[in-house]
């Protein structure tokens, strides 16, 4: 289980790093889908099978496919890709990398204190469902309102110009 975790963690980091450095958006999105699938395996090894299933079905299956379809609709040209490649090659990465390194050391020291690691405690889908639909019902209502607002806004913004 631990080996599976390490392998998928390395793969997730690698595919995410590849995703943010590609010039072609379709390639980048496919790498990101791979990273999401690795993340689903990680959720499974952490003892959260429901989260793993949601990650595969909703995130990789629905959200990313929507993203991919829209990117394919945009019909990217070669000139844009070449310009993108120029931008990746330029040293614009240096200041953000310094900033990220600083942030990583700070957060790493704060967030990962030297405590004794404990064994993961598995949470069944049943426990999640019971908690979600009894005590956390307000959160479900809020989520539904958010989705409705997103739906209406997407419908309104997506209309053709009169």
Partner 1 sequence: MIAWPMSAGLALALFLLGLLGLLTRRNLIFVLMSIEIMLNATGLLFVTAGMRWGNPDGQIMLILVLNLAGAELALGLVLLLRLRGRLPTLDGDRATLLRDAP
Residues of this chain, 133-152, that bind partner 1 according to CB under 8 A: 136, 139, 142-143, 146-147, 149-151
Task: Restricting to residues 44-83, name those near partner 1 by CB under 8 A.
Answer: 45-48, 50-51, 54-55, 58-59, 62-63, 66-67, 70-71, 73-74, 80, 83
The CA angle 87-93-99, to the nearest 5 degrees, is: 150
CA distance to 3, 19, 127, 128, per residue, from 47 (Å): 15, 27, 12, 12
Q: Residues 76 to 105: which contact partner 1 by CB under 8 A?
A: 80, 83-84, 87, 92-93, 96-97, 99-100, 103-104
| Count of residues engaged in binding partner 1, rule: CB under 8 A | 80
Residue 119 interacts with partner 1 (CB under 8 A)?
Answer: yes
139 SS3 class: helix
Report, in Å, the least distance between residue 162 CB and partner 1: 14
Q: Give Cα separations from 73 to 33, 67, 68, 69 (angstroms).
A: 18, 10, 9, 6
Q: Looking at 72, 89, 132, 137, which residue binds partner 1 (CB under 8 A)?
A: 132
Asked whether the beta carbons of 140 and 132 are under 8 A apart, the reply is yes
What CA–CA distance (Å, rounded) separates 99 from 113?
22
* Shorter beta-carbon distance to partner 1: residue 121 or 162: 121
């Amino acid at each position: 289980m631990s080996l599976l975790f390490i392998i998928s963690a390395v793969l997730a980091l690698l595919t995410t790093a590849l995703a943010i450095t590609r010039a072609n958006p379709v390639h980048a999105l496919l790498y990101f889908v791979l990273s999401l699938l690795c993340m689903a395996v990680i959720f499974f090894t952490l003892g959260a099978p429901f989260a793993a299933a949601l990650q595969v079905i909703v995130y990789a299956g629905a959200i990313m496919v929507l993203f991919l379809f829209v990117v394919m609709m945009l019909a990217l040209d070669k000139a844009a890709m070449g310009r993108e490649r120029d931008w990746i090659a330029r040293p614009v990465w240096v200041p953000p990398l310094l900033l990220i390194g600083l942030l990583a050391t700070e957060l790493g020291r704060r967030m990962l204190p030297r405590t004794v690691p404990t064994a993961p405690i598995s949470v069944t889908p049943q426990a999640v469902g019971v908690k979600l639909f009894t005590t956390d019902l307000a959160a479900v209502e809020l989520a539904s309102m958010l989705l409705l607002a997103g739906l209406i806004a997407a419908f309104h913004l997506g209309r053709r110009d009169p």
